[in-house]
Every structure is written in structure tokens, then in C-alpha cells.
Homo-oligomer: A and B are copies of this chain.
Amino acid sequence: MTKPSIDFYFDLISPFAYIGSTQIEALAARHGRTVTWKPVLLGVTVLKIMGMKPLPQYPLKGPYLAHDMARLAKIWGVPLHPHSVQGHNSLNAMRAFVWLDARDPDAAKAFARAIFRRLWVDGLDMTPVEACVEEAQRLGLDAAALADGIASQEAREGLRVGVERAIANGVFGAPFVIADGEPFFGCDHFWMLEQWLRDGAWMAPPA
């Protein structure tokens, strides 16, 4: 019997989601699991619902997170370069993901990976539709259709509903994994996720 897929929640704006995205498929595969990528928007969960600032803006925690992301990338061998893009957001790219995901989840994952690399390896902005189109073209996807998709009511609604579902499932940050109902926040918890997938349920999922 096939084991259930695990859910990987990400926002393309999050460097830790990028780092996590490079590890999660292999981690899941080691335990006979596949991964379903699902959207969350930190601008909704962190800023609106939790009423926090973007975490990098906090004194003490901001510098720590910058150091932590660099060393995590080094430990796991993930290319990550500081970039100078400012004022960017992931809304178009996340809509593009949702629109692609409804048609071809593998293409949607490839697109998400390309956007992550665009910012953290190539230092290029992801904000405008043109950025999404460029990455789609490079992947051999129908870029014109994707541009229409990003502007579609389907993508807007799909992302809105997806983020609502994420919140209903208790997701507040990224990366955030839910496996068999059990929540794991952050790359920091991947060791615990791995233990969960290996040893089975050491604790009943939250009610």
C-alpha cells in the first residue's frame, strides 16, 4: 500500500523555504513518501494574522537568521548568494505556481525551483509577471499561457483558497511540513520530521 504523501508548504519569498525545498524530496523519498507542494503567503500569516514584522527586521533575530541561513546552505551544500533585490514580493510567482500545479504538479515544482534559484543564485527579482514568463520559457513551458494564467481569476482564487487552507491547518511560516497530520516548522525541524517518517508516530497528531 502506498504511504500518504507529505505536504510541503512554501512561499517563494522565503530563503528558508528555498533551502528546505532542495532537501525535502530526497528526505521524503528515503522513507517511501512523495511530496505535495502547497502555497502559503507569509504576508498573510506572519504580517496580518500574527501581527509581526518580517522576521529579518527584528533586532538580534534578524542578524541571527541571516547567519543561520548561510550556514544551513553551507552544511547542506545549497547554492545561496546574498542578493540586493528589495521591495520584491512573491504574489505573481505564487499565482503562477498555483495555476501550473492545477495542470502539472511536476512542472509547478520545477517552476518554483527556478524562481528560488532566480533570486538566491542569480540575484534577480521575481516580482513582475515577466520574471515568471522568463523562467517558464527556460523550462520549456507555455509562457504565454502562464502569463494569462497568472492574471486569471482561477489563479487568484486558487491561491487565496490555498492560503486559507494552510492557515486552517495551522501553517504560519515556511517551510512548514505536515506529515500524517503532524506539523513541522522550519528546516530546523527536518531532523524531527525524518524521525517521524522513520519511526512512525511517537505522538498522536494534534487534535
Contact at A71–B203, with CB atoms within 8 Å? yes
Number of copies of this kind of chain in the complex: 2
Interface mask (A48-78 → B, CB under 8 Å = 1, otherwise 0): 0111100000111101100110111011000
List the B side residues contacting A167 at CB < 8 Å. Answer: 60
Within 8 A of B (CB), among A109-128: none
Query: Which one, B51, B64, B71, B185, contacts A170 given CB within 8 A?
Result: B64
A 73-94 contacts with B by CB, 8 A: 74-75
User: Given A75-B192, A186-B188, A188-B186 in contact, is the A45-B67 Cβ separation under 8 Å?
Assistant: no
Q: Kindly state the separation between the CA atoms of A49 and B206 in the bound complex, as whole angstroms.
A: 33
> Chain B: which residue is nearest A183 at the CB level?
B64
Task: Tell me the chain A residues, 164-207 only, with Cβ under 8 Å from chain B.
Answer: 167, 170-173, 183, 185-186, 188-189, 191-192, 195, 202-203, 206
Which one, B60, B185, B191, B195, contacts A50 given CB within 8 A? B60
CA distance A30 to B186 in the complex (A): 26
Additional A-B contact list (15), CB under 8 Å, known A60-B172, A75-B192, A188-B192: A45-B60, A50-B58, A50-B59, A50-B61, A51-B58, A52-B52, A52-B58, A58-B172, A60-B167, A60-B171, A61-B172, A68-B189, A71-B192, A186-B188, A188-B188
A-B contact pairs, 24 of them (CB 8 A): A45-B60, A50-B59, A50-B61, A51-B58, A52-B52, A52-B58, A59-B172, A60-B171, A60-B172, A61-B172, A63-B170, A63-B206, A64-B170, A64-B185, A67-B206, A68-B185, A72-B192, A74-B203, A75-B192, A75-B202, A75-B203, A188-B188, A188-B189, A191-B191
